[in-house]
Amino acid sequence: MARLKRLRKILNPPSMKGFKPYGQESDTEEKEPVTLLYEEYEALRLCDYDNCNHAEASAIMNVSRPTFTRIYASLRQKLANAFVECRPIVVEGGKIYFDSDWHYCMKCHCNFNNPDKDRSIESCPLCGNQTFETHNSELETAFVMSGNCAEICVCPVCGEKVSREPGTACNQLVCSSCGAPLNRRAGYRRGSFKNQ
């Protein structure tokens, strides 16, 4: 089995969901959108907006430099496709986690965030203990984004969708309501883009 993808860290998620072309030459019906992954948006932002080089950007996203270059190459191809073929762009999905203000309590082993940015946290909201540390590695699995690359299995009989644990195959799971073996979601890895 192929090695699992490393989670990519996203510092600033996009403030929109996508883009649409306007003023096309021919009035055809809307074309199928190009799906940009969050990690690709982040690669574009780091590389071309923040002017980082690939090595710096890869360190920020917590992936290797070659992987970053592959993400960036995939982004360039998708953007070029969208522009040339007048297709809308949708930003969704990706194997990512978000970097934000998270803390971990040493006493009750809970993770919590700070909803009020103006005030700093003094004690654990759960047990009141004052020893906690700020980090986010524990949360990597808690915020895996779902989208076109989501690890989702579909029941062929009733259509129920079940998310699967990375590393398990869909056909080894059965549907909870009708007991049929599950299929991998149709459309997964659709199109000519290979997801890194």
Partner 1 sequence: MKVAITSTGDSFDSMLDSRFGRCSYFVVYDTESKSSEFIPNPNKNASEGAGPASVQLLAEKNVEKIVSGEFGMKIKSLLDSLRIQMIIIKEPKSVRDVTALLNH
Binding site for partner 1 (CB under 8 A): 98, 100, 108-116, 125-129, 138-139, 142-143, 145-146, 161
Quickly count: other Cβ atoms within 10 Å of residue 110's Cβ: 15
For partner 1, the closer of residues 77 and 111 by Cβ is 111
- Report in angstroms how near the CB of residue 22 gets to partner 1 at its nearest: 27
- Report in angstroms how near the CB of residue 41 gets to partner 1 at its nearest: 14
- Report in angstroms how near the CB of residue 138 gets to partner 1 at its nearest: 7
Q: Which helix (H) or strand (E) holds 40?
A: helix 38-44
Radius of gyration, alpha carbons of the chain: 20
Cβ(61)–Cβ(46) below 8 Å: yes
For partner 1, the closer of residues 18 and 125 by Cβ is 125
- Report in angstroms how near the CB of residue 141 gets to partner 1 at its nearest: 8
For partner 1, the closer of residues 55 and 127 by Cβ is 127
Distance of alpha carbon 33 from its chain centroid, rounded?
18
- Per the document, the length of the chain is 196
For partner 1, the closer of residues 59 and 162 by Cβ is 162
Helices 54-61 & 65-84 angle (0-180, nearest 10)? 100
For partner 1, the closer of residues 59 and 98 by Cβ is 98
Dist. CA 16–CA 98, nearest whole Å: 16
Nearest to 162 by CA among 148, 144, 176: 176
**Side-chain half-sphere of 134: how many Cα atoms within 13 Å?**
9
DSSP 104: E
- Report in angstroms how near the CB of residue 84 gets to partner 1 at its nearest: 31
For partner 1, the closer of residues 147 and 181 by Cβ is 147
- Report in angstroms how near the CB of residue 154 gets to partner 1 at its nearest: 12
